[in-house]
């Protein structure tokens, strides 16, 4: 989780609505249009079905109440407005309560292709379609409960599992490898990179391996873990994940597949 951001969430008014500017709605529309054109043959069917259920508006940023009306009906989840960045305690607590955090800001045109921070397009377009799916919803809920009870050191390992599933996960399907991770599906550049680039590798999802794999948030990913099937998320949720965390701590991290981040000169 990034500690600094230049973005600031909008506060809802007394009726619970966020008043988005015309420019912000225009960025949403442009992102939606571009991503729609990239989904065919790349996004998994479960995600596409959830996208149909949400029926997102193309000309404006949706209000959170519109999203909740669908999620509550399908899986009992809802979205919750949060500041631009929240701490891990708040993050895990929300997930444990079946509330998905959504920061009410949208990226600038300068960061159109990829944004480190989770903006509203990332959360709504990237994640919310799959929160209509029972397997994904169950996995995310289980993850939240485990994370909320975990110590700081264990949370760092859990963050890697989340990264390589919820954020940057791929899945095998009868039609080939497809994307389900919201970090990929909300990024025009990463959507193509994840399934078509020769500069990354696909590995079978083994939760213990994912727990031991370093990542960087500011680059196109060099490695993706691929589920056998989408319902494998149910199987992972039923594993003794904290026992796997203990095993990962003993084994240590794999060597990173990326160069260290260069320090910014002051």
Look-up of token digits 């379609």: 129
141 annotated as a binding-site residue: no
Distance CA 226, CA 165 (A): 9
- The answer to whether 208 and 248 are in contact (CB under 8 A) is yes
202 annotated as a binding-site residue: no
- The answer to whether 31 and 39 are in contact (CB under 8 A) is no
Ranges assigned E (strand) in the chain: 78-82, 99-103, 170-173, 176-179, 201-204, 223-227
Distance CA 54, CA 56 (A): 5
Look-up of token digits 């960087």: 216
- In b/e form, how buried is each residue of 28-41, taking b as 16+ CB within 10 angstroms? beebbeebeebbee
10 annotated as a binding-site residue: no
Nearest to 167 by CA among 140, 144, 192, 188: 140
Positions at the binding site? 122, 127, 167
- Annotated binding-site residue numbers for Fe cation: 122, 127, 167
């Amino acid at each position: 989780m990034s500690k600094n951001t230049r973005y600031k969430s909008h506060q809802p008014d007394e009726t619970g609505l966020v008043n988005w500017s015309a420019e912000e709605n225009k960025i949403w529309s442009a992102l939606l249009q571009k991503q729609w054109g990239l989904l065919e043959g790349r996004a998994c069917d479960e995600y596409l079905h959830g996208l149909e259920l949400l029926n997102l508006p193309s000309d404006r940023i949706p209000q959170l109440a519109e999203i909740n009306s669908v999620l509550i009906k399908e899986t009992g989840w809802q979205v919750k407005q949060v500041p631009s960045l929240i701490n891990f305690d708040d993050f895990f607590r929300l997930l444990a309560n079946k509330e998905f955090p959504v920061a009410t800001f949208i990226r600038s045109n300068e960061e159109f292709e990829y944004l480190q921070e989770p903006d509203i397009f990332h959360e709504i377009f990237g994640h919310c379609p799959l929160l209509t799916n029972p397997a994904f919803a169950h996995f995310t809920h289980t993850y939240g409960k485990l994370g909320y009870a975990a110590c700081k050191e264990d949370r760092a390992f859990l963050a890697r599992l989340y990264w390589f599933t919820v954020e940057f996960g791929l899945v095998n399907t009868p039609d080939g490898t497809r994307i389900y991770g919201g970090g990929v599906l909300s990024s025009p550049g990463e959507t193509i990179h994840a399934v078509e680039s020769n500069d990354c590798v696909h590995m079978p999802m083994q939760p213990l391996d994912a727990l031991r794999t370093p990542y960087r948030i500011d680059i196109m990913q060099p490695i993706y873990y691929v589920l056998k099937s989408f319902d494998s998320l149910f199987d992972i949720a039923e594993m003794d994940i904290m026992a796997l965390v203990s095993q990962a701590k003993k084994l240590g991290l794999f060597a990173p597949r990326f160069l260290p981040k260069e320090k910014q000169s002051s």
